[in-house]
């Protein structure tokens, strides 16, 4: 509006016609100077594009316009000058590869306020991306087609870990003025867990763990974790490994969860008889502190027993998809089958949405078979 009032629409059209794509550029330039006197356009022997070269506030800016037509190259150079003068240059002076950006990204992951699980997730995602062909490609040249051609081993969840990490890297690169636009790409469709760590799987894991030749302390740790996970339905890292003795109510036989993944995760969980025995044995005479203390951990409590669990699973010959989190699925299915009270299941598992609660329901198909057989008492063939 300011330019139109000062110079009129005719001068504005003339200015754009001569290649000055930003009106603001003329306002930033000293009186009487044209952008062509500040910007040098030239060609290189090894390049078919026109290149620009100029200095602003003591800093030299030199790069390719990516244009072979001089008129279009002049417009690109004018736009670049305008953005520099207005201190809003969208791109770094030099394109950086995904590998180069990863250094700054991983530093941000470690120094940020992300949860420990999120940090591990992004590190794992970058580990997967590191083996792809786009890792040395300039990040501003990676588009949707490049991402959609990537493939990763194992499940869709594993691939989505890499895709989510890449998406987060793009958004951080946008904040750091390394890319103009974040490419949009879809995640793979994930299928929910169908396995439960039931009584049979628990027995096989414990037999296999004893055969691994571990110390008694190591075996009992795995056994107690499996028992607590199956009979409380607690989330592994955020809840189960962070049980504090102060939150155990021995009289009412209740475990209080003070913090969780969601606001509804703050809840009371009843102790089963064998959970009460495991907790009593573990606590002993202590009055406070972590239920599973660890001297090697930075947070001073246990954070993972995945290595021991996987060793026992392989020894037992159980499927690879059976993970510790399957205990939560088993808990939800058992409690609903035995009580028929979905509201109670949601409350004790920390769910607010029925749809989220139903992801943890894997009813035994034999229940359906029994119900059908009880109703279908008619003979297969009619009597003569």
Residues 292-333 have pLDDT tens digits of 999 888 889 998 899 999 999 999 999 988 889 899 888 988
- The pLDDT tens digits of the residues spanning 261-285 come to 777 788 999 999 999 999 999 999 9
**Average pLDDT of the segment spanning 25-39:** 52
Please give the pLDDT value at position 40.
Answer: 86
Quick: pLDDT tens for 42-100. Answer: 898 888 999 988 887 677 788 888 899 998 998 888 888 887 776 555 544 567 899 99
Grade residue 344 by pLDDT with cuts at 50, 70 and 90. confident
**pLDDT at position 202:** 94
Q: Decide which of 165 and 54 is more confident.
A: 165
How does strand 267-270 pair with strand 50-56? unpaired
In this prediction, residue 219 carries a pLDDT of: 95
Q: Return the bridge partners of 41, or none.
A: 52
pLDDT at residue number 364: 65
Given a cut of 80, whether residue 360 has pLDDT beyond it is no
Residue-level pLDDT at 232? 94
According to the model, what pLDDT value does residue 244 have? 95
pTM comes to: 0.59
Bigger pLDDT: 193 vs 359: 359
- Mean pLDDT is highest, among 4-18, 304-318, 343-357, 368-382, for 304-318
Of the chain, the percentage scoring pLDDT greater than 90 comes to 41
What's the confidence (pLDDT) of residue 365?
63
Q: What is the mean pLDDT of residues 148-176?
A: 90
Q: Among residues of the chain, what percentage have pLDDT more than 70?
A: 81
What is the pLDDT, as a whole number, of residue 8? 43
Q: Looking at the DSSP assignment, which residues form a beta bridge with residue 63?
A: 52
């Amino acid at each position: 509006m300011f330019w139109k009032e000062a110079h009129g629409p005719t001068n504005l059209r003339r200015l754009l016609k001569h290649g000055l794509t930003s009106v603001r550029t003329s306002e930033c330039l000293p009186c009487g100077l044209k952008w062509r006197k500040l910007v040098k356009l030239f060609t290189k022997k090894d390049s078919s594009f026109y290149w620009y070269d100029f200095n602003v506030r003591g800093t030299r800016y030199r790069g390719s316009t990516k244009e072979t037509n001089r008129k279009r190259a002049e417009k690109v150079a004018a736009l670049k000058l305008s953005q520099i003068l207005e201190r809003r240059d969208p791109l770094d002076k030099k394109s950086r590869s995904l590998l180069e950006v990863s250094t700054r990204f991983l530093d941000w992951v470690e120094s940020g306020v992300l949860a420990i699980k999120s940090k591990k997730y992004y590190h794992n995602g970058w580990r997967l991306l590191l083996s792809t062909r786009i890792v040395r490609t300039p990040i501003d040249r990676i588009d949707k087609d490049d991402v959609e051609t990537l493939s990763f081993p194992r499940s869709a969840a594993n691939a989505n870990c890499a895709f989510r990490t890449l998406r987060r890297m793009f958004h951080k690169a946008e904040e750091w003025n390394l890319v103009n636009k974040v490419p949009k790409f879809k995640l793979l469709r994930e299928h929910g867990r169908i396995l439960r760590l039931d009584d049979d799987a628990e027995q096989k894991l414990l037999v296999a763990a004893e055969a691994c030749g571990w110390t008694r302390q190591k075996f009992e740790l795995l056994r107690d974790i499996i028992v607590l996970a199956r009979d409380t339905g607690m989330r592994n890292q955020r809840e189960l490994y962070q049980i504090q003795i102060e939150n155990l109510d021995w009289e009412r036989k209740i475990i209080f969860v003070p913090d969780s993944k969601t606001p509804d995760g703050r809840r009371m969980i009843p102790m089963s008889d064998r959970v009460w025995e495991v907790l009593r044995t573990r606590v002993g005479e202590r009055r406070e502190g972590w239920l599973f203390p660890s001297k090697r951990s930075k947070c001073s409590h246990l954070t993972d027993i995945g290595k021991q669990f996987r060793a026992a699973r392989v020894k037992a010959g159980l499927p690879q998809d059976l993970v510790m989190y399957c205990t939560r699925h088993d808990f939800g299915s058992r409690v609903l089958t035995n009580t028929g009270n979905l509201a109670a299941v949601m409350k004790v598992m920390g769910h607010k949405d029925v749809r989220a609660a139903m992801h943890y329901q894997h009813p035994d198909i034999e229940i359906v078979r029994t119900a059908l057989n009880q109703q279908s008492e008619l003979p297969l063939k009619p009597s003569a």
